[in-house]
Amino acid sequence: MSEARTSLRFIDGEVSRELSGFDPTLTILDWLRLDERRMGTKEGCAEGDCGACTVVVGRFVGTQVRYRAINACIAPLASLDGRRLITIEHLKAGGSLHPVQQAMVDRHGSQCGFCTPGIVMSLFALWLNENEASEERIEDALAGNLCRCTGYQPIIAAGRQMFEKGAAAKKAWIAQAAAMAERIRQLQDDRRLEIRKGTRRFIAPASIEDFAKVYASHPDATILAGATDVGLWITKDMRLLDTVIHPGRIAALEGVAEKEEALVFGAMTNLADAENALSRIHPHLAELLRRFGGEQIRNVGTVGGNIANGSPIGDLPPALIALGATVTLRSQEKRRELPLEKFFIAYKRQDRHPGEFVESVRVRKLGAASLFHASKVSKRFDEDISAVCGAFRLERDAKGRINEARLAFGGMAAVPKRASRAERALVGQEWNEEAAERAAVALEKDFAPLDDWRASARYRMRCAQNLLLRFAIETSEAETETRIAGPLARRDLSGELAGAAPSREL
């Protein structure tokens, strides 16, 4: 392999940049504010929650450059390699405000102004990627941006106006897009990137083989995927990570392959793309993913990261376990595949050997007779971590009796876990409310739930039991109102789900 490249190359607005010798875990936000003294991008929480630090990053996906909003506070500067960064300072062109900025002025979308640059950048990403947007779509795009003084209606009105009055700016954007894409393309190479300062380093391999090799020689290194967990170790725990390996340049680890009976997700597939794919399996998965962080988190957070972090309250593991997913682990020497539920051994302990990383996840599709349900219970509808997450899959024989039951929960134990006793209570039964009630009783023997500030053990148990009942009601009495918010609550008169599986291509 050729020698590693030791400088970071990216496009900063219109300007090509090459940087080296910086702190390997320096965030984009700290670089902007502390090194570049560009103060437009704000720091509110430094943990991915408030959106004040939102910037837009363009990167090659397949043959196209995709631009997406991300949180600069938790994203390492070095992850910009081969990409284009757009900050609030780049929007004003030729002395005129961008249509998004003008709309915020016209609609009185700003008071103290602290959240405003982040809100403008989230709206800018929406404007860039779509030609119109419903109020719900604008709300979704802003779910990761907190404003404590203006209130959201003027901001949403600005979101509508930017499409009405932004045609000329869009034309100008499209006119330069191909030349810019070519500049970004020229930054792609197959050399390993290695940013060093003293003994600390950020390594970004360009292929899976190189990833396996470098991880084998640094098994204690921290894998940093989307950094929506690891970023907080840096900004909140103030950890000085010694060696960081970032697989973000490896195209082969990204994307969703469609097989006849399964979808296979590369570990580095981001949650926004996963949402599009999973929504094709079942609308509940679209809603689950839509409520996963805000868009800035979903645009970078990965499927592999949500599994490998081993959180007992991660949202994907229960859904994937219920579907019957398997995870493929890879090291320099070999690959092995195991049922996802077996990957989680104990609190924050997974079945992963030194030098092994998550390569992909294979998710079984549903059959015509399968029944499926996924629910997330959290204190807030948007951008909140689950207190309980439940996902259920039932398969039935020709007589309508259950012959396979997979009931998986997050928030009910130290790991995402199947409810084996409740599953046994269902097998051989017809699926109805009585069966759900019997399974709900068995749940009490399956779990001694977590008891913490997010939710008490008693509350969690009651929620889990009620989710089973909701599943029974939703699958037998489709007209009964069981949800009060979100796309699944909106039903048209025929009982069909309205807008339940949004397919968003950003």
Residues of this chain that bind ligand FES (CB under 6 A): 43-46, 48-53, 71, 73, 110-116, 147-150
Residue 61 belongs to what H/E stretch? Answer: strand 54-61
Task: Identify which of residues 144 and 283 has a Cβ nearer to ligand FAD in the complex.
Answer: 144
Which of the listed partners (ligand FES, ligand FAD, none) does 286 bind, with a CB threshold of 5 to 8 Å by partner kind? none
DSSP states of 86-120 as a string? E-GGGT-BTTB--HHHHHHHHTT--SS-SSHHHHH
Q: Rule CB under 6 A: is residue 158 a binding residue for ligand FAD?
A: no
**Whole-angstrom distance, CA of residue 130 vs CA of residue 415:** 39
Shortest separation between residue 358's beta carbon and ligand FAD, angstroms: 4
Q: Residue 110: which of ligand FAD, ligand FES, none does it interact with, CB under 5 to 8 A by kind?
A: ligand FES
| Tokens read off for 6 | 């030791």
- Is residue 24 involved in binding ligand FAD (CB under 6 A)? no
Residue 205 binding result from ligand FAD, ligand FES, none, given CB thresholds of 5 to 8 Å by partner type: none
The minimum distance between CB 352 and ligand FAD, in angstroms, equals 7
CA proximity to 251, closest of 207, 312, 204: 207
161, interface contact from ligand FES, ligand FAD, none, CB < 5-8 Å by kind: none
Report the partner that residue 448 touches, choosing among ligand FES, ligand FAD, none (CB closer than 5 to 8 A by kind): none
Encoding tokens for residue 18?
């090459």
Reported as type and span, the H/E element at residue 466 is: helix 457-476
Distance, in Å, from the CA atom of 76 to the CA atom of 235, rounded to the nearest integer, reads 11
Residue 134 is given by DSSP the state: -
Closest contact distance (angstroms) between CB of 304 and ligand FAD is 3
**Rounded distance, CA 377 to CA 380, Å?**
9
Per CB under 6 A, 266 contacts ligand FAD: no
- By the rule CB under 6 A, 46 interacts with ligand FAD: no
Which two structure tokens, joined as six digits, stand for 68?
């997406």
Residue 47 or 130 with smaller CB distance to ligand FAD: 47
Which of 226, 266, 312, 411 is the binder for ligand FAD (CB under 6 A)?
A: 226
Smallest gap from residue 348 Cβ to ligand FES (A): 24
- Is the Cβ of residue 141 or residue 385 nearer to ligand FAD in the bound state? 385
H-helix or E-strand spanning residue 283: helix 283-290
Do the strands 193-197 and 388-396 form a parallel or antiparallel pair, or are they unpaired? unpaired
Residue 51 interacts with, from ligand FAD, ligand FES, none (CB under 5-8 Å by kind): ligand FES
Q: Residue 486 pairs with which residues in a beta bridge?
A: none
407 binds ligand FAD (CB under 6 A): no
Distance between CA 311 and CA 236 in Å, rounded?
A: 18
**φ and ψ of 437, to 5 deg:** -65, -40
Restricted to residues 338-377, the positions that interact with ligand FAD (CB under 6 A) are: 357-358
Q: Does 48 bind ligand FAD (CB under 6 A)?
A: yes
> What length does the chain have?
506
Give, as one character, the DSSP assignment of residue 14. T
Look-up: residue for tokens 């599009």?
Answer: 276
Q: Does 47 bind ligand FAD (CB under 6 A)?
A: yes
Among 402, 408, 378, residue whose Cα is nearest residue 475: 402
Q: To the nearest whole angstrom, how small is the minimum distance from the Cβ of residue 115 to ligand FES?
A: 3
100 binds, among ligand FAD, ligand FES, none (CB under 5 to 8 A by kind): none
Ranges of beta strands (E only) in 365-469 are 371-377, 388-396, 402-410, 417-418
d(CA 388, CA 188): 42
The single residue among 143, 193, 227, 340 that binds ligand FAD, judged by CB under 6 A, is 227
Residue 306 interacts, among ligand FES, ligand FAD, none and using kind-specific CB cut-offs from 5 to 8 Å, with ligand FAD
Considering CB distances under 5 to 8 angstroms, the limit depending on partner class, which of ligand FAD, ligand FES, none binds residue 227? ligand FAD
- 136 near ligand FAD, rule: CB under 6 A: no
By CB under 6 A, name the one of 154, 159, 293, 411 that touches ligand FAD: 293
Residue closer to ligand FAD, measured from CB, 154 or 318: 318
Least Å from the CB of residue 52 to ligand FES: 5
Q: Which amino acid is at 364?
A: R
60 vs 152 by CB, closer to ligand FES: 152
Contacts of residues 197-202 at CB distance under 8 Å and 24 or more positions apart, as own/partner, are: 197/21, 197/22, 197/23, 197/24, 199/242, 200/23, 200/24, 200/25, 200/240, 200/241, 200/242, 200/243, 201/24, 201/242, 201/243, 201/244, 202/24, 202/25, 202/76, 202/78, 202/244, 202/246
Select 12 or 356, whichever has its Cβ closest to ligand FAD. 356
| 82 interacts with, out of ligand FAD, ligand FES, none, CB within 5 to 8 A per kind | none
315 binds ligand FAD (CB under 6 A): yes
Q: How far is CA 502 from the centre of its chain?
A: 16
For ligand FES, the closer of residues 46 and 256 by Cβ is: 46
Is residue 301 close enough to count as binding ligand FAD by CB under 6 A? yes
Q: Which residues bind ligand FAD (CB under 6 A)?
A: 47-49, 222-230, 267, 292-293, 297, 301-302, 304-306, 308-309, 314-315, 357-358, 385
